[in-house]
Structure 1
Amino acid sequence: MDDHEQGQQATIAFLKSRLGDAIDEIRTHISVILLAPDRVWKLKRAVALPYVDLTEAGTRVALCERELRLNRETAPSLYRRVLRVTRGPHGLELDGNGEPIDAVVEMARFPAEDLFDRIAAESRLTGELTARLAETIARFHGELPPVQDRAASRRLAAAIEGDERALRGHARSLGAAAVDDYCARCREAFRALEDRLDARGRSGAVVLGHGDLHLGNICLWEGAPTLFDRLEFDEELATVDRLYDLAFLLMDLGRRSLPERANLLLNRYLDRIDDEAELAALPLFMSVRAAIRAHVSASQSKPHEASAFLALAGDLLQPGVPMLVAIGGLSGSGKSTVATALAPHVGSRPGARVIGTDRMRKAMFGVAPETRLPAEAYARRVTDEVYAGLARRAAAILNGGWSVIVEGTFLSANERARVQSAATAAGAAFVGLWLDVDPGALRRRVAQRRGDVSDADLSVLEAQLGVDLDAISWVRIDASGSEEDVIRRARDALSRPGPGGA
């Protein structure tokens, strides 16, 4: 503890005296957090770090004000106010008339079990909660004004250079060879994407984002996923490509062995933010985030954690081969379930983009996925437009270097041929899966649907059962059994060549 922090101890003791006896204290790299039963006071530590100098009282006070302003955009009722610590004739006061020597951000207190890192660790991060979180982040990003940036790549280059310096500073504990190998591969991946990053900057993809969006900075507040603790000490660091902002959370989910949740988060986010044809940079973004965690862990004397993060950073740079998987079958055959299960394991992490005709059709009509459409929305003309759009979107994603899974009934040979042609034109691998289910089982499944994205009812199913499907060249899978058996068969089909395969 240096002289600046030593001089701050009287302030901390004063704040504790004002909060009462039942106080918990947490220290992070730049904060002292005092937790009372009904509120939280967050004080900036008087430290000088490579990326921020907080030794001056004026800087700490200004950053508290900035923290309040930024976080009220995402968590208005969680962040209450800033209280200044002033020195008066009789000693320290809160919001007195004397000289400001420090400040605290006051927050409402929430239970520790409502932090998303705890929720994830305790297997409470459901698919429904993940989808709500994705919508929260997409809404946040969608409301941010774009930062016009004609050289957006320089922002990531600066982060990569900072990583490299920090990693080399910990080469003894991390292994010099491992650090050298990662840095060389990261620079190579960056050079391959540099022009693309600049194009995204010009298109408005750079925003003043969260900056530190991992599971520990998300909580359930008033029943809703809530983003808090935005990066406040450096606006340049927090001004990033929105996919780089999201990448921290995707990396965090993946390293916690939650690939299904990471893929679901990405897909529900992309349902709201039109970045699905621009995913090629995502593995590099995730890798840089993991490298940051590697040198931060090393600086905290956590060598095993640091090495694991560095290994993950390297693994994320492994190139994935784009492929298109098409899943067809009658209503009730389980297409969406199979697509969701396969997606995390297709292509680069966090897995394939999933596009379903039901969600596409709802988006075309400007309604929520669960909103039922009128019969005219299913006219032949509209359906042709849906499948043509499906093929175009799949081609754009493949041409952008990413894998895609498309799912729909694909009742006509023309629909099936069109989507397969999209893969051929992009030079991508293709696998077509057809889910076969006994008509009686289909009827039971459709009759039991509640709150489903699909509008198909028993009358629609009966019409489908009467359609001549023509010759189906795709891999046919018996989908009448348990969900686990069907998914296993589908995974097996992806791993071997066969009819409808690449």
Structure 2
Amino acid sequence: MLPESQIDVAQFLTRALAGDGTVERVSTHISSLFLAGDRVLKCKRAVRFPYLDFSTPELRLAACQAEVALNRRTAPALYCGVRRITREPGGALTFDGSGALVDAVVEMRRFPEADLFDAMARSGRLGPTHIADLAHRIAAFHADAAISRDHGGTAAIAKLIAMNDAALRNAGLVPEAEAQALSARFRAALERHATLLDARRAAGKVRRCHGALTLRNICLFEGVPTPFDCIEFSEDIATTDVLYDLAFVLMDLWHRARFDLANLLFNRYLDEADETDGIGLLPFLMALRAVIRAHVTGAQAADAPDPTATIAEARAYIDLADSLLAEAPARLLAIGGFSGSGKSSVAASVAPGLGRAPGARILASDRIRKRLHGADALTRLPPAAYEPAVSAQVYAALRREARRVLAAGHCAVADAVFDRPDARAAIAAAAEELGIGFCGIWLEAPAATLARRVEGRTNDPSDATVAVLSGQLARDPGAIVWHRLDAGQPLDALRDAVHALCDDGRARVRR
């Protein structure tokens, strides 16, 4: 609810929307929303906190103007504009009059609550197509966001760790000993990552981001994944490393056990954004986001319909943060096989459970080939793009990127045909050079099965045809010493078999 000083504003907004149908009200600790028909009027509450000040009409107007300007970067169709509320000489309130400023609201277009990504995740409607599209939009948004070298870096993260520690203690969510241990783990992780965090700031990776990129702040608007409700009240909170911005939605998906979607978002984002140097930071950054969600959730428990459940959820976020800080070795998995053997499906199924969150980086030769030619993943390339010399470049690029991922301390999955002995030896050597475990998988199936799968492909990055498959089958692939698996098994069985081989220390060094 709005404070007592804004009661007349609340009444005015209710009357203004009454013609559009029943007026609904939704309140947060800093805003009140009035919803009717296809319209939303969002009013800032006259409050002052250490991190924001909405205590005067002028400050609320400025905040509304900032909210519209910043959110139009990602949701231009959603944000209609700012309406000033003025008091006219007779005492009545009106929109955009000539009288004294009393308040201001953000006017927005309304969308169904069911189209919020968190609601879609709960109902099972959130799928890979939505996530792949979202990854593209976040990558484009980050690429265009304003660079800052005055924010971010080690100092900002150290301040955040201290703030999280104080907030957890104030919320009474953890015993003193546990709070101390968790804070110590964060500080130790920060010490390990400090050089990289500062280097990324120097390289322009700290930008004016969204700041609160959770599933709750993303909707499907007119069929398009649309981030909205960014942080407008604090440059310090919202101006951060782009991977810390991404980490919020990754953490949100991980918390909901949508490991598949988190890994997909991670991979499609990195397909477009050159952030490989920083991916070793992601578990740490996701853990920071989990602690933020923990103390925010805990602070809401007193007013929640079920305080016990709310506290339990807050504790689940703390447990998640703890697990995200656990170390795990980097390793390289290579999946080969002729076209139609299911390499990409197996890679996508295996990757979420390989290594640290948000799972392994998948490096697919089909996608790398398209990028080298400046084409999107679904654009068919001409036959010249598959000449042996070009394929050699593709495999070399795959190995280079695998080395970068492994050097960053993250797991990688190399997805390519690998039908030549030298290509198989070279990818294994990429891991050996770094002293990192390797596992090679060869998927095989009858020629008729492979051909049927190739013919049935739609919306696939592979340009392989049955004629291409026939050429592969006609060549001698040489001695295959990788682990051979029947590609006709159910996908879950293949996934489990690959994980078992990757977890076998002897399997990791096989070439």
TM-score bin (small chain): over 0.9
- 2:304 matched residue in structure 1: none
How far apart, CA to CA, are the structure 1 residues paired with 2:233 and 2:176?
31
1:489 aligns with 2:490: no
Select the residue among 407, 410, 424 that pairs with 2:415: 407
How far apart, CA to CA, are the structure 2 residues paired with 1:315 and 1:151?
24
1:10 aligns with 2:8: yes
Select the residue among 462, 467, 489 that pairs with 2:475: 467
Select the residue among 440, 444, 453 that pairs with 1:436: 444
Measured at CA, do residues 149 and 476 of structure 1 come closer, stay the same or move farther in structure 2, by a change above 3 Å? farther
One-letter identity of the residue aligned with 2:427: V
Measured at CA, do residues 463 and 32 of structure 1 come closer, stay the same or move farther in structure 2, by a change above 3 Å? same
Q: Secondary structure at the match of 1:290?
A: helix
> Any residues of structure 2 matched to 1:100-249 within 5 Å, and which?
100-149=101-150, 152-170=153-171, 172-249=172-249
* 241-250 vs 17-26, greater mean Cα deviation: 17-26
Give TM-score, length-normalised by structure 2. Answer: 0.95
How far apart, CA to CA, are the structure 1 residues paired with 2:491 and 2:300?
44
How far apart, CA to CA, are the structure 2 residues paired with 1:131 and 1:60?
36
How far apart, CA to CA, are the structure 2 residues paired with 1:430 and 1:149?
41
> Any residues of structure 2 matched to 1:66-77 within 5 Å, and which?
66-77=66-77
How far apart, CA to CA, are the structure 2 residues paired with 1:294 and 1:229?
20
* 464-473 vs 255-264, greater mean Cα deviation: 464-473
Is this contact kept in 2: 1:150–1:202, CA < 8 A? no
How far apart, CA to CA, are the structure 2 residues paired with 1:395 and 1:173?
41
How far apart, CA to CA, are the structure 2 residues paired with 1:183 and 1:151?
19
Is this contact kept in 1: 2:338–2:472, CA < 8 A? yes
How far apart, CA to CA, are the structure 2 residues paired with 1:401 and 1:29?
40
> Any residues of structure 2 matched to 1:306-325 within 5 Å, and which?
306-325=314-333
- 1:94 matched residue in structure 2: 95
Once the two structures are superposed, residues 332-373 of structure 1 have per-residue CA deviations (whole angstroms, 9 ceiling, x without a partner) of 000000000011011110101000111111111111111111
How far apart, CA to CA, are the structure 2 residues paired with 1:308 and 1:176?
18
One-letter identity of the residue aligned with 1:51: Y
Shift of 1:37: 1.0
Once the two structures are superposed, residues 30-60 of structure 1 have per-residue CA deviations (whole angstroms, 9 ceiling, x without a partner) of 1101111120000011122232222222211
Select the residue among 361, 379, 383 that pairs with 1:353: 361
Point out where structure 1 has 5 or more consecutive residues left out of the alignment: none
- 2:486 matched residue in structure 1: 478
- 2:17 matched residue in structure 1: 19
One-letter identity of the residue aligned with 2:495: I
What RMSD over aligned residues (CA atoms) do the two structures have, in Å? Answer: 1.5
Q: Secondary structure at the match of 2:379?
A: coil
Shift of 1:472: 1.3
Once the two structures are superposed, residues 175-224 of structure 1 have per-residue CA deviations (whole angstroms, 9 ceiling, x without a partner) of 22222221111111011101100000011111000010000111111211
1:367 aligns with 2:385: no
Shift of 1:324: 0.4
How far apart, CA to CA, are the structure 1 residues paired with 2:152 and 2:224?
36
Is this contact kept in 2: 1:278–1:397, CA < 8 A? no
Shift of 1:485: 2.8
- 2:281 matched residue in structure 1: 281
How far apart, CA to CA, are the structure 1 residues paired with 2:25 and 2:381?
54
> Any residues of structure 2 matched to 1:26-37 within 5 Å, and which?
26-37=26-37
* 199-208 vs 20-29, greater mean Cα deviation: 20-29
Shift of 1:93: 2.0
1:447 aligns with 2:445: no
How far apart, CA to CA, are the structure 2 residues paired with 1:379 and 1:113?
49
How far apart, CA to CA, are the structure 2 residues paired with 1:35 and 1:150?
36
One-letter identity of the residue aligned with 2:334: A
One-letter identity of the residue aligned with 2:223: G
Once the two structures are superposed, residues 151-178 of structure 1 have per-residue CA deviations (whole angstroms, 9 ceiling, x without a partner) of 72222222222112211212x3432222
One-letter identity of the residue aligned with 2:251: M
Is this contact kept in 2: 1:339–1:407, CA < 8 A? yes
Give TM-score, length-normalised by structure 1. Answer: 0.96
> Any residues of structure 2 matched to 1:238-277 within 5 Å, and which?
238-277=238-277
One-letter identity of the residue aligned with 2:130: L
One-letter identity of the residue aligned with 1:15: L
How far apart, CA to CA, are the structure 2 residues paired with 1:16 and 1:151?
41
How far apart, CA to CA, are the structure 1 residues paired with 2:507 and 2:409?
24
One-letter identity of the residue aligned with 1:306: A
One-letter identity of the residue aligned with 2:149: Q
Shift of 1:499: 4.9
How far apart, CA to CA, are the structure 1 residues paired with 2:173 and 2:465?
61
Is this contact kept in 1: 2:151–2:239, CA < 8 A? no
How far apart, CA to CA, are the structure 2 residues paired with 1:327 and 1:112?
41
Is this contact kept in 2: 1:149–1:202, CA < 8 A? no
Is this contact kept in 2: 1:31–1:43, CA < 8 A? yes
Is this contact kept in 2: 1:248–1:289, CA < 8 A? yes
Is this contact kept in 2: 1:212–1:230, CA < 8 A? yes
Q: Secondary structure at the match of 2:276?
A: coil
Is this contact kept in 2: 1:174–1:303, CA < 8 A? no
How far apart, CA to CA, are the structure 2 residues paired with 1:192 and 1:349?
17
One-letter identity of the residue aligned with 2:16: R
Is this contact kept in 2: 1:149–1:198, CA < 8 A? no
How far apart, CA to CA, are the structure 2 residues paired with 1:422 and 1:388?
10
Is this contact kept in 1: 2:151–2:240, CA < 8 A? no
- 2:306 matched residue in structure 1: none
One-letter identity of the residue aligned with 1:486: L
Shift of 1:90: 2.1
- 1:416 matched residue in structure 2: 424
- 1:40 matched residue in structure 2: 40
How far apart, CA to CA, are the structure 2 residues paired with 1:394 and 1:212?
31
How far apart, CA to CA, are the structure 2 residues paired with 1:239 and 1:475?
47
Q: Secondary structure at the match of 2:274?
A: coil
One-letter identity of the residue aligned with 1:316: L
